[in-house]
């Protein structure tokens, strides 16, 4: 039976809270030679990890037999990686070779430095082996012991810089995220921590986030604890033009938008479940249209309850989304609450004013709705001038 080397218990330490690590890094410049354990231990103020350790050891002892099985899971990542991306442009990281795979697994989770791969190996395998049984909650619980810590867990210790592709992998899920993040770039621990400390106060944003909220985020879900409409207040409030020029408004909105990933809800007529799409991932309407199709194709086909070959029919539904010629049309709601056809304004303006998207049946588009929006915009502009 293959058993992986067990790390001495003492070497295991729970992921540090980002701030602790931050302080730690700030106070002592990064010292890759020092064992990760000690530094973390100090910084964390001796955070008790007894629960962790117990669970970990259990996992290792009882599930030794599961380890090979577990390893099987990981190569299957090629399936995972190849899975179609929700946002357009994602590419599978299929180019990983085996040694990379190993590196990826081993890289998981121990904060505090690139060293100590052995411990990381044990740690990660422990996680997975626990998860392979029904104690999925345990894996979840341990792996995600805190939103902030989880963020660090994912982002820490990968010493390559993160390319744009990798970001798009993140939305595939935390697991994939961990895999792909291993390809991240140099200076990563610092970068990760800096991001984390950026993210933590901000709560919902990190400079480079493009992942959907469902993927375990570096920004913490549901933090700070304020209602969503309050989060959007500053960025969406329209400054009166007597005080700001229109350019400034746009610029400020763009700037605000750049600080966070631009996730908007999108619903499609006839489909009860909505989706979210990150507009930062695209730079033109064509790509958006493609992405919309990707998002809803499966759901629409399932809805119609059609056999395989009628997927074509479902695909057809998405032709002509932008020009009104197709079965469905893409519309959006802007920051003034008006419903607008997608494609009427330059992409940048669209991104800075869009609040949510809808895929409407073209037959439902009434001139009335859009006309009302147009006339209100007119009066609004007039009253501002």
Partner 1 sequence: MTYFPEEVVEHIVDFLGSHGDRNAVSTVCKAWYQVDRLSRRSVFVGNCYAIRPERVVTRFPEMKSLTVKGKPHFADFNLVPYDWGGFAQPWIEAAARGCPGLEELRLKRMVITDDDLELLSCSFPNFKSLVLVSCEGFSTDGLAEIATYCRGLRELDLQENEVEDHGHQWLSCFPDSCTSLVSLNFACLKGEVNASALERLVARCPNLRSLKLNHSIPVESLNKILARAPHLVDLGTGSFTIDNRSETYHRLINSFFRCKSLRSLSGFWDASPFCLQAVYPICANLTVLNLSYAPAIQSADLTKLVGFCFKLQKLWVLDCIGDKGLVVVASTCKELQELRVFPSDVYGAGITAVTEEGLVAISSGCPKLNSLLYFCYQMTNAALTTVAKNCPHFTRFRLCILEPEKPDPVTNQPLDEGFGAIVRSCKNLRRLSVSGLLTDQVFLYIGMYAERLEMLSIAFAGDSDKGMVYVLNGCKNLRKLEIRDCPFGDAALLKDVAKYETMRSLWMSSCDVTLGGCKSLAAKMPRLNVEIINENDGTSESKENLSDQHKLVLCQQFTSVSNDIMFTSNDPDVCRRVRL
Cβ 254 to partner 1 shortest distance, Å: 13
Interface stretch with partner 1, choices 28-36, 93-101, 240-248, 315-323 (CB under 8 A): 240-248
Q: Min. distance of Cβ 263 from partner 1 in angstroms?
A: 11
Residue 221 token pair: 């879900």
Please tell me whether residue 383 binds partner 1 under the rule CB under 8 A: yes
Q: Between residue 96 and residue 135, which ones bind partner 1 under the rule CB under 8 A?
A: 128, 131-132, 134-135
Cβ-contact 182, 174 below 8 angstroms: no
CB of 181 to partner 1, least distance (A): 12
Q: Which of 103, 304, 369, 377 binds partner 1 (CB under 8 A)?
A: 369
Query: With respect to partner 1, which residue has the nearer C-beta, 323 or 364?
Result: 364
Question: In the numeric block, which tokens belong to residue 380?
Answer: 């609004």
Among 11, 17, 24, 105, binds partner 1 (CB under 8 A): 17
Select 245 or 323, whichever has its Cβ closest to partner 1: 245
DSSP single-letter state for residue 236: H
Minimal CA–CA distance to 200: which of 26, 19, 25? 19
Instruction: Provide the minimum distance between the beta carbon of 246 and partner 1 in the complex, in angstroms, as a whole number.
Output: 15
Cβ atoms of residues 200 and 220 within 8 Å = yes
Output 115 or 262, the one with its CB closest to partner 1: 262
The CA angle 84-155-150, to the nearest 5 degrees, is 95
Give CA–CA dist 306/90, Å, rounded.
27
141-160 residues near partner 1, rule: CB under 8 A: 141-150
- Alpha-carbon Rg for the chain in angstroms: 24
Contact 325, 293 (CB under 8 A): no
77-92 as b/e: b if 16+ CB within 10 A: beebbeeebbbbebeb
The answer to the question of residue 237 lying near partner 1 (CB under 8 A) is yes
Q: Which stretch binds partner 1 (CB under 8 A): 3-11, 30-38, 206-214, 304-312?
A: 206-214
308 is a contact residue toward partner 1 (CB under 8 A): no
Alpha-carbon distance 236 to 226, whole Å?
A: 16
Residue 367 touching partner 1 (CB under 8 A): no
Among 7, 11, 218, 220, contact with partner 1 (rule: CB under 8 A): 220
């Amino acid at each position: 039976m293959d058993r992986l080397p067990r790390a001495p218990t003492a070497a295991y330490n729970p992921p540090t809270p980002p701030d602790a690590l931050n302080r730690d890094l700030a106070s002592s410049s990064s010292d890759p030679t020092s064992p990760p354990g000690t530094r973390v231990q100090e910084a964390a103020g001796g955070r008790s990890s007894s629960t962790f350790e117990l669970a970990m050891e259990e996992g290792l002892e009882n599930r030794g037999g599961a380890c090979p099985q577990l390893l099987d899971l990981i190569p299957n990542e090629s399936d995972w990686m190849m899975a179609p991306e929700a946002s357009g442009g994602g590419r599978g990281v299929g180019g990983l070779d085996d040694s990379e795979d190993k590196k990826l697994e081993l890289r998981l989770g121990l904060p505090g430095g690139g060293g100590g791969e052995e411990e990381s190996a044990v740690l990660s395998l422990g996680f997975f082996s626990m998860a392979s049984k029904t104690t999925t909650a345990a894996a979840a619980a341990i792996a995600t012991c805190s939103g902030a810590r989880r963020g660090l867990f994912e982002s820490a210790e990968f010493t390559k810089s993160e390319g744009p592709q990798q970001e798009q992998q993140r939305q595939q899920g935390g697991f994939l995220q961990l895999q792909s993040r291993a390809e991240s770039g140099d200076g990563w621990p610092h970068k990760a921590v800096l991001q984390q400390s950026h993210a933590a106060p901000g709560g919902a944003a990190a400079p480079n986030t493009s992942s959907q909220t469902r993927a375990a985020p570096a920004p913490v879900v549901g933090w700070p604890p304020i209602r969503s409409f309050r989060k959007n207040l500053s960025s969406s409030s329209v400054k009166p033009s007597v005080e700001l020029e229109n350019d400034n408004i746009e610029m400020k909105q763009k700037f605000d938008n750049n600080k966070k990933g631009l996730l908007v809800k999108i619903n499609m007529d006839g489909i009860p479940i909505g989706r979210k799409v990150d507009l930062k991932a695209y730079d033109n309407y064509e790509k958006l249209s493609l992405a919309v199709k990707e998002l809803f194709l499966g759901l629409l086909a399932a809805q119609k309850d059609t056999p395989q070959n009628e997927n074509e029919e479902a695909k057809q539904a998405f032709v002509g989304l932008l020009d009104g010629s197709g079965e469905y049309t893409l519309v959006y709601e802007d920051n003034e609450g008006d419903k607008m056809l997608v494609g009427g304004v330059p992409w940048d303006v669209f991104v800075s004013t869009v609040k949510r998207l809808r895929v409407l049946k073209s037959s439902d588009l009434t001139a009335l709705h859009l006309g009302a929006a147009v006339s209100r915009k007119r009066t609004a502009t007039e009253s501002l001038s």
